[in-house]
Amino acid sequence: EAQVTQNPRYLITVTGKKLTVTCSQNMNHEYMSWYRQDPGLGLRQIYYSMNVEVTDKGDVPEGYKVSRKEKRNFPLILESPSPNQTSLYFCASRRFVGEAFFGQGTRLTVV
Amino acid sequence: GNSVTQMEGPVTLSEEAFLTINCTYTATGYPSLFWYVQYPGEGLQLLLKATKADDKGSNKGFEATYRKETTSFHLEKGSVQVSDSAVYFCALIGGTQGGSEKLVFGKGTKLTVNP
């Protein structure tokens, strides 16, 4: 089954404690991206990757890091999380110009 | 750059009512257009798409037609059900402004259908 898998689904952490949200896809898609979803703001792109070792900033990259060492994986790293990063996060993958497939989401709370 | 504007919600309807959610876009060339749906507690999933002018995308009773002349992709359903309650996102990708690397979303429209 074609899918994008994110983990964890829910995470509560404290300010400053580094965390990683994993994302994996099994469709051999070149393109992967991370979004955050906040009430009233819709979906905003954090980072994207067009292929292995190729990443670039989206609209709201501050406070986040990503890496793309393998085609299937695209982890999101928060080196020092802050409360304003409390949000619902989605990973997505697609071919270069095509529909995106989304993970189930990770609800992050930073206290 | 490319952009998408969709009607703000929330939208509340009674079961079997007719639904329209407006979506207009700004892009040069011929972007691909999508409607995504997000059910409570879930990720976004593709509802329908259209890749060229005058194409009609359809799925689960929903339809949308790619109108190049009005730069619109309005979502319609003739008779909504309670199970259609969700947030709907209009989106585009491509065109000729170099926007192919980014999937651009509207802000979403929350639909609630009451029995």
Which of A43, A90, A97 comes nearest B100 by C-beta?
A97
Of B37, B50, B40, nearest in space to B93 by CA? B50
Q: How far apart are CA A94 and CA A105, in angstroms?
A: 16
Q: Which residue of B has its CA nearest to A3?
A: B45
Residue B30 has pLDDT above 90, yes or no: no
Does the structure show a pLDDT above 80 at A96? no
CB contact under 8 A, A31 and B32: no
Tell me which residue has tokens 């919600």: B9
**Residue in B34, B102, B105 nearest the CB of A99:** B34
* A47: closest CA of chain B, how far (Å): 10
- For CA atoms B59, B60, B63, B64, the dihedral sign is negative
| Vertex A83: Cα angle to A106 and A20 (nearest 5) | 40
Say if CB A24 and CB A4 are below 8 A apart: yes
Which pLDDT band holds residue B98 (cuts at 50, 70, 90)? Answer: low
CA distance B9 to B22: 11
**A103 shares contact with chain B (CB less than 8 Å):** yes
How far apart, in Å, are the Cα atoms of A27 and each of A31, A52, B10, B60? 11, 14, 35, 24
Residue-level pLDDT at B99: 53
Interface touch B105/A42, C-beta < 8 Å:
yes
- Residue A85: strand, helix, or coil: helix
Band (pLDDT 50/70/90 cuts) for residue B96 is low
Measured between its terminal Cα atoms, the distance across chain A in Å is 36
- Whole-number pLDDT of residue B100: 57
Question: Are the beta carbons of B94 and B100 closer than 8 angstroms?
Answer: yes
Tokens of B36: 């995504």
Q: Does B107 touch chain A (CB under 8 A)?
A: yes
* Residue B109 CA neighbour count, 13 Å, CB half: 27
Question: Are B34 and A42 within 8 A, CB to CB?
Answer: no
Q: Is A39 on the interface with B (CB under 8 A)?
A: no
Q: What's the average model confidence in pLDDT over A37-60? A: 92
B46-66: pLDDT as tens digits? 999 999 999 999 999 999 999
Name the token pair of B74: 């309005």
8-state DSSP, B102: -
B residues 38-67 closer than 8 Å to A (CB): 42-46, 49
